[in-house]
Structure 1
């Protein structure tokens, strides 16, 4: 699908202490996809990331900055960015990490797939996907966590925790962001699930995920464990509600994912 046919596109890049990476990743994104705008959402980074973002935006009209006063979670930052993008009239709204783990040079894969989907996920765990510089323990944790999400929620998404995504405007409007309560890493699984429950199409495309080489990772074993606890609490509730809805309608919940 032609990028022009998709309308106005913006990629939301949340930041917290990414001073070493932000200019580098924004430049790569602007070179890879010149027609795509960028929104940096900074959660009051004490390392000066917000000031760097302002300087980038001052030099490039296709880069905007949304400053938040404190770190309130990945999901909260994305929702703030989504609301800004919807208010500004964007047709396609994306997610991308600031640390280089999501390669801007692969964004075209997600854009091409959006012609047949309402949400496209750049996936590490489908055929053709891969990770670079990850220890085996972290790969097993991610694969296991995604298997857990699939079983718990009864969905077919192989990489529901992935954060490289493109949403159609209509998708975000239909899933009702006012009802989203998850703010941490469970946010990604939550939105994928809500998209399927709304009867919309999710498609996964393979990407190469590269572990950051500069700065400190925000994902630690403690955060991963805490995320799984939140997924369990939220997932059990959603699964219960799904069963109730299925019983009332006489049919099952969301099943399919296109690849």
Structure 2
């Protein structure tokens, strides 16, 4: 998913991101292999296969290195309380963030003041749906192969904070759970889904991330109401963090620890 509005005052900065590349030289008899379309296609296919096979290392960013800047104020993630939703605001721009020991989830939304057009009319505050644009941290490199664990934490929208409960069976390599306590959505179920290798880009800071994770459907009773994706963080998969893409209310940030 992408944010179509340009991010103005709210900027997320991840430290320690580096890029590396390699090069070589070819003979003068013809074009180098790297310059041919077929070589590019083969390289892309090889990289995709490596990602799917989990051969490329998972991305790691230190959570304490993050800062969130709104206007002239820089908020250090390291100073934020763990296990609590933090509300940051500058004018009409708002950020809600949830920090854990190894991961952070954050979403952005705008607030508009609407009046009836005359001075006597009352002002109504309207919040846009939240877009989760930052899911990052110290991605788990190697998942446990045995054990069943329950991850408990928070689920948050643009205005509410509820509860995430997510159960993972590392023997069967599946997970399922629920989001409760949000009036906007009611209680919803995160359907059982298998482990997979997730890759995504964070719109709010431009980082590209790879991680072990799970992606599945979201339901309320017999009705399908969206999708979800979460990822494992911490050396021993101590945490999960991700997003619910709800069809009616926008994004919901989810995070928990075992």
Alignment TM-score > 0.5, same fold: no
Q: TM-score, normalised by structure 1?
A: 0.28
Larger radius of gyration: 2
Q: Which has the higher contact order (CA 8 A, sep 6+)?
A: 1
